[in-house]
């Protein structure tokens, strides 16, 4: 009975609408998912991190609902968040403490023209993107273009007037408000656009509040996650070349949950960034392309109960040059690149850590007129004093008129993630408030991470607006994906109010295999947009570190997205996600820090989002109402996160 | 798996039925020409008549509401404001005022040339203000167990609170003149505070219907 409404809704939405005009979807490439502007504008997205819910087989975890760690198709543990992010061709490091945070990009989902997502390993810019890629493409301004928008979300279960009758009643999160404003001017050959985005997430939930209170002794006056991003993009296209530049600045004030510690540390990041990329035709068959980028993340000062201040900066830069030559069916690309990371702390005892990684890649591509595509790449790495080798092979075979098969094999044998203890320095930089109380022991040795993946994906487009994709995949992990740190809390009395966290050993020497299979069915008509994706994933022969690494990635994940567009400027959307229970070993610290409230296993849950979108004035004004978690199923994506309940969003955008 | 409370199931079932009906007779097949052609302004008063645990602490007073309603691609959409007052029933709690801001949808059924019956749902925000209580020092800055002084008051809400609400409403409208009507009806409001505030109001008032200006029709469509 309790699922009757859900079943009726799904059945009704799936059954209705047959018989309309049926434009065929683009055949797509197996292993690559493309989200179009229409899907994005109407799908009930209020932040870029909401995209994760639309990506087949991606898992995303969060403790505060703002910062999400994601994993694509079992290619990496979610906590490492090794997937790569590109925005309009720029390689973007929207990272905080080494973890990509999609919400720091100065873009709103409605500004996106399309999103291209790689669920399987690929090579971009001469680098093996072995853990998935999200590439955001924004709308180009057409003439003078301006935009302003805001969103606000309200999660239920506030005490309301009962705060006066129940002294223990607590407020719960308010999401936002979030603002976006952009101004640009563009033609077919050149343009510039500036976007400013600001967002808030109020940290009022008791678990977070208690942990932060325990560390800082009192709630910080600005008890909210705050993000401000300003980005300026410019592009120019000539007859033989095209170039893109970006500069920007992000400020992010966060309560960052550190897994090894089991509690949050308030952080204040200021990150200027700049980058550029372009191509230049050197001849009829030869093209030179370049890509450069730099960002500098500075941890700002933060007053806390022990009155320490942070002084920590990470600089991260990359540069690469590629020469592409095409003759007949053969294309060759040679890439030379360098990545540089430097962590500096102001304290002499901490010093500076540097990591340089050079790579030389050779790609060869054979593309037959029949559609057969063979692609191979070999990448040599030189990092500090060690060398590594990565390889990728792709066979894209059209087996029939509407059927394609893609086989992707990749192997990565990299130098140890941070031979110079970069992660150690990262974490130690954050350890300043506990410097006198905390003993940090870096790992005695770090093993080389060796990863092998195999993905077989087939797609079938039978016509009538249908597209079906399915296939198995296998991954093998041997060697440490993470550095190892031992945290010992020797004097927890006042900070943790008498609780002793003891010593926690972080993940090490991750070893195991992941098996998975997925099927995705898309059906588009003039009125309906329907997408169903199911993924099954299981790890085997896993050691304790691997079990901890794959924690939070459920064995079964089902996503259904249904959009109904009865008229061009009105849309109803439903999005359903069902996932099985997940285990969470290794989070005893979080459990202890929250009085044992959080179990070591998260129950299964079903989430249903319902949204209505309406455009007024020919698209000048867009309004969206969204009920997130309409079933009000209490769920959490991380044991240290609070339960999330029904949330009501209002979003409006004005475009001129 | 845990599922939703009865009220949400009821709403979902209603929405499902409407969506299924919409799928059977696709909205696209309907003309969009009728959408937004007229606008009806409903002004009325409301009085609460159910009793719940909420009434042990507060006594709802008279309320008023203003709603603007217009034909949609299917049914009618509306947006409106309602004001409610709650007097303290005990000395331990303050009185408070509440403003309900909503959007809604309803399905009209014409019973006779002069009589129309509408039933639908509303959702929106329920904003409550407890100014007197804080000034009187009932809970000081510690409302809700969370410090709410200074900046916190601004960020969390201070002496006010807002919460999501959903509800159902029904209205019987009798046309008295080409543009004037009287209406009576009831609506159920469920504010999703930790302890739900579930109130049923009886309402009555007058309605005035006008032709939507062409420029506004173009904009709305």
Q: CATH code at B44? A: 2.40.160.20
Residues 167-196 of B with CB under 8 A from A: 191-195
The predicted-structure confidence for B38-69, as pLDDT tens digits, reads as follows: 999 999 999 998 898 889 889 998 889 999 99
Q: What does the pLDDT read at residue A211?
A: 67
Answer yes or no: do A15 and B23 touch at CB < 8 A. Answer: yes
Residue A618 lies in a domain: yes
Which contacts of B76-82 are long-range, i.e. CB under 8 A and separated by 24 or more positions? B76/B105, B76/B106, B76/B107, B76/B108, B76/B118, B76/B120, B77/B103, B77/B104, B77/B105, B78/B102, B78/B103, B78/B104, B78/B105, B78/B106, B78/B120, B78/B122, B79/B103, B79/B104, B80/B42, B80/B104, B82/B46
Is A580 near chain B, with CB under 8 Å?
no
Answer yes or no: do B130 and A170 touch at CB < 8 A. Answer: no
Q: What does the pLDDT read at residue A388?
A: 92
Task: Judge whether A170 and A204 are in contact, CB under 8 Å.
Answer: yes
Which residue would you say has higher pLDDT here, A27 or B99? Answer: B99
Domain membership of residue A610 as a residue range: 23-655
CA distance A564 to A168: 43
Answer yes or no: do A646 and B8 touch at CB < 8 A. Answer: yes
Kindly report the average pLDDT of chain B as a whole number: 78
Residue B31 lies in a domain: no
Which chain A residue is nearest to residue B29, measuring alpha carbons? Answer: A566
Residue B145 lies in a domain: no
ipTM here? 0.80
Is B94 near chain A, with CB under 8 Å?
yes
Residue A645, token pair as written in the block: 């309940």
Task: Judge whether A83 and A76 are in contact, CB under 8 Å.
Answer: yes
Q: What does the pLDDT read at residue A195?
A: 94
Task: Judge whether A553 and A582 are in contact, CB under 8 Å.
Answer: yes
* Average pLDDT estimate for B78-103: 90
Whether the ω angle into residue A322 lies within 30 degrees of 0, i.e. cis, is no
Residues in B touching A221 (Cβ below 8 Å): 150-152
Residue A99 lies in a domain: yes
The predicted-structure confidence for A240-276, as pLDDT tens digits, reads as follows: 899 999 999 999 888 777 665 566 667 788 899 999 9
Least confident of A58-67, A589-598, B81-90, B110-119: A589-598
Residue B182 lies in a domain: yes
Residue B135 lies in a domain: no
Q: What does the pLDDT read at residue B17?
A: 52
Residue A613 lies in a domain: yes
Is B221 near chain A, with CB under 8 Å?
yes
Nearest to A321 by CA among A284, A292, A358: A292
Q: What does the pLDDT read at residue B151?
A: 36
Domain membership of residue B170 as a residue range: 37-123+165-220
Q: What does the pLDDT read at residue A302?
A: 55
Answer yes or no: do B96 and A174 touch at CB < 8 A. Answer: no
Considering its fold, how many domains does chain B have in total? 1
Residue A2 lies in a domain: no
Residue A587 lies in a domain: yes
Instruction: Determine the length of chain A.
Output: 656
Kindly report the average pLDDT of chain A as a whole number: 80
Which chain B residue is nearest to residue A157, measuring alpha carbons? Answer: B194
Is B146 near chain A, with CB under 8 Å?
yes
Which chain A residue is nearest to residue B11, measuring alpha carbons? Answer: A5
- Going by their DSSP bridges, the two strands A241-258 and A570-579 should be labelled as unpaired
Residue A16 lies in a domain: no
> Of A160, A219, A606, which has the smallest distance from its Cβ to B193's Cβ?
A160
Secondary structure class of A179 (helix, strand, coil) = strand
Answer yes or no: do B155 and A202 touch at CB < 8 A. Answer: yes
CATH code for position A253: 2.40.170.20
Residue B136 lies in a domain: no
Q: Read off the pLDDT band of B12 (50, 70, 90).
A: low
Answer yes or no: do A171 and B157 touch at CB < 8 A. Answer: yes
> Of B19, B103, B133, which has the smallest distance from its Cβ to A164's Cβ?
B133
Residue B150 lies in a domain: no
Considering its fold, how many domains does chain A have in total? 1
Residue A3 lies in a domain: no
The predicted-structure confidence for B151-188, as pLDDT tens digits, reads as follows: 333 333 457 888 899 999 999 999 998 899 999 999 99
* Residues of chain A under the 70 pLDDT cut: 1-28, 168, 170, 173, 207, 210-223, 258-265, 300-311, 345-351, 417-446, 480-509, 585-599
> Of A163, A631, A632, which has the smallest distance from its Cβ to B144's Cβ?
A163
Angle between helices A4-15 and B6-24 (to 10 degrees): 20
- Going by their DSSP bridges, the two strands A570-579 and A582-583 should be labelled as unpaired
């Amino acid at each position: 009975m309790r699922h009757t409404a859900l079943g009726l809704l799904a059945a009704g939405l799936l059954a209705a609408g047959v018989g309309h005009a049926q434009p065929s979807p683009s055949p797509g490439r197996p292993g690559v998912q493309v989200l179009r502007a229409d899907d994005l504008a109407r799908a009930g997205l209020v932040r870029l991190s909401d995209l994760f819910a639309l990506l087949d087989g991606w898992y995303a975890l969060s403790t505060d609902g703002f910062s999400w760690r994601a994993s694509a198709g079992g290619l990496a543990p979610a906590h490492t968040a090794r997937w790569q992010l590109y925005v309009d061709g720029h390689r973007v490091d929207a990272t905080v403490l080494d973890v990509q945070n999609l919400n720091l990009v100065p873009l709103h989902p409605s500004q996106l023209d399309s999103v291209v997502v790689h669920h399987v390993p690929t090579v971009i810019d001469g680098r093996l993107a072995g853990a998935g890629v999200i590439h955001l493409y924004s709308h180009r301004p057409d003439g003078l273009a301006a935009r302003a928008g805001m969103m606000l979300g309200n999660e239920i279960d506030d005490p309301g007037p009962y705060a006066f009758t129940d002294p223990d009643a607590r407020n719960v999160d308010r999401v936002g408000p979030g603002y976006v404003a952009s101004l640009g001017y563009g033609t077919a050959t050149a343009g510039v656009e500036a976007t400013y985005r600001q967002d808030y997430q109020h940290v009022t939930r008791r678990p977070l509040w208690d942990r932060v209170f325990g560390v800082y002794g009192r709630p910080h006056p600005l008890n909210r996650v705050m993000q401000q991003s300003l980005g300026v993009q410019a592009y120019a296209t000539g007859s033989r070349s095209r170039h893109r530049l970006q500069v920007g600045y992000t400020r992010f004030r966060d309560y960052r949950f550190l897994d090894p510690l089991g509690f949050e540390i308030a952080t204040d990041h200021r990150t200027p960034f700049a980058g550029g990329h372009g191509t230049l035709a050197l001849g009829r068959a030869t093209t030179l392309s370049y890509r450069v980028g730099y960002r500098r993340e500075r941890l700002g000062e933060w007053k806390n109960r022990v009155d320490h201040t942070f002084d920590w900066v990470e600089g991260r830069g990359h540069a690469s040059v590629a020469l592409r030559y095409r003759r007949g069916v053969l294309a060759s690309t040679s890439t030379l690149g360098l990545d540089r990371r430097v962590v500096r702390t102001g304290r002499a005892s901490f010093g500076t850590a540097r990591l340089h990684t050079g790579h030389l890649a050779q790609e060869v591509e054979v593309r037959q007129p029949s559609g057969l595509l063979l692609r191979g790449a070999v990448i040599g790495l030189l990092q500090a004093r060690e060398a590594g080798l990565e390889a990728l092979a792709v066979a894209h075979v059209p087996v029939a008129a509407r059927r394609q098969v893609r086989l992707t094999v990749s192997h990565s044998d990299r130098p140890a993630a941070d031979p110079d203890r970069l992660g150690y320095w990262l974490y130690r930089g954050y350890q300043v408030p506990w410097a006198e109380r905390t003993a940090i022991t870096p790992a005695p040795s770090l093993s080389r991470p060796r990863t092998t993946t195999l993905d077989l994906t087939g797609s079938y487009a039978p016509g009538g607006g249908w597209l079906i994709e399915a296939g198995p995949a296998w991954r093998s992990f041997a060697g440490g994906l993470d550095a190892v740190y031992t945290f010992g809390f020797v004097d927890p009395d006042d900070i943790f109010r008498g609780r002793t966290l003891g010593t926690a050993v972080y993940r090490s020497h991750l070893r195991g295999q992941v098996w998975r299979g997925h099927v995705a069915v898309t059906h588009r008509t003039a009125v309906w947009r329907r997408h169903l994706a199911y993924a099954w994933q299981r790890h085997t022969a896993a050691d304790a570190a691997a079990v901890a690494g794959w924690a939070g990635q459920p064995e079964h994940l089902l996503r259904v997205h249904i959009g109904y567009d009865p008229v061009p400027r009105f849309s109803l959307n439903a999005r359903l996600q069902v996932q099985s229970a997940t285990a969470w070993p290794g989070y005893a610290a979080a459990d202890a820090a929250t009085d044992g409230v959080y179990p070591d296993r998260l129950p299964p849950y079903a989430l249903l989002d319902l949204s209505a979108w309406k455009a007024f004035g020919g698209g000048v004004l867009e309004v969206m109402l969204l009920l997130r978690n309409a079933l009000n199923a209490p769920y959490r994506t991380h044991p240290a996160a609070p339960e999330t309940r029904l949330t009501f969003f209002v979003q409006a955008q004005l475009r001129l | 798996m845990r599922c939703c409370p009865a009220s949400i199931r009821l709403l979902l079932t209603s929405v499902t039925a409407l969506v299924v009906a919409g799928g059977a007779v696709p909205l696209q097949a309907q003309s969009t020409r009728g959408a937004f052609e007229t606008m009806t302004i409903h002004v009325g008063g409301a009085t609460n008549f159910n009793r719940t645990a909420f009434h042990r602490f507060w006594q709802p007073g008279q309320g008023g509401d203003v709603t603007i309603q217009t034909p949609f691609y299917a049914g009618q959409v509306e947006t409106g404001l309602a004001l409610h007052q709650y007097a303290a029933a005990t000395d331990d709690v303050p009185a408070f005022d509440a403003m309900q801001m909503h959007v809604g949808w309803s399905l009209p059924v014409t019973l006779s040339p002069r009589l129309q019956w509408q039933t639908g749902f509303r959702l929106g925000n329920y904003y409550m203000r407890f100014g007197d209580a804080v000034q009187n020092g009932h809970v000081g800055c510690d409302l809700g167990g969370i410090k709410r002084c200074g900046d916190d008051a601004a960020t969390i809400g201070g002496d006010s609170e807002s919460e999501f609400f959903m509800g159902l409403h029904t209205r019987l409208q009798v046309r008295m003149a080409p543009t004037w009507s009287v209406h009576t009806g009831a609506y159920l409001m469920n504010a999703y505070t930790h302890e739900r505030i579930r109130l049923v109001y009886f309402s009555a008032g007058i309605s005035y219907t006008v032709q939507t200006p062409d420029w506004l029709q173009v904009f709305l469509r």
